[in-house]
Amino acid sequence: MKLETEDKQSIFEIVAARYFTTQNWKWVNLRKDLNKIIKSYDELNEQYASYSYVSRDWYVENMGSKNIHMCNTWDELKNLVTFLNTHGKTFNFLVNTGNRKSFCIVSDSRDLNETQAQAIKEVQKLGYNTFVFLATVPDEIEFQLLQVRGVN
């Protein structure tokens, strides 16, 4: 059976996520959780509007969504969301290695397209590291379908 591009992309993401987990890195799949990060930003703004005597940095540091956006300050979160609104779909993961936060593209090619190259330049201006997780998946996968007969 021939694997479609979407199938390969899903396999790449599974392999990358497993690697990040074995390294004990915190990570967020941006394909699945991008909207959660943006929603947490909006919720923080709503909280701050209701209780403005507490600093926005306190909300960022103490809200339950910190494990999704991994930010420590309001400015960091605001810059992250601004970036994600423009370039978020270019990357597959936001990863915290413990030393630094990074954006990751998963691919089977070292060649980046213009959109990816531009997004990498922009995110590096914000102080994030970037990397490409290269993986190889065959174009076709073999399988068998076995029929198991029940006992009457």
- In the prediction, which pLDDT does 20 show? 96
- Would you list the domain boundaries of the chain? 5-134
Tell me the per-residue pLDDT of 74-109, one tens digit each, with 9 for 90 and over: 999 999 999 999 999 999 999 999 889 999 999 988
HSE-up of residue 46 (Cα within 13 Å, Cβ side):
7
pLDDT of 54 = 86
Q: Report pLDDT digits (tens) over 34-78.
A: 999 999 999 998 988 888 888 899 989 888 888 889 999 999 999
Is it the case that residue 22 has pLDDT exceeding 90?
yes
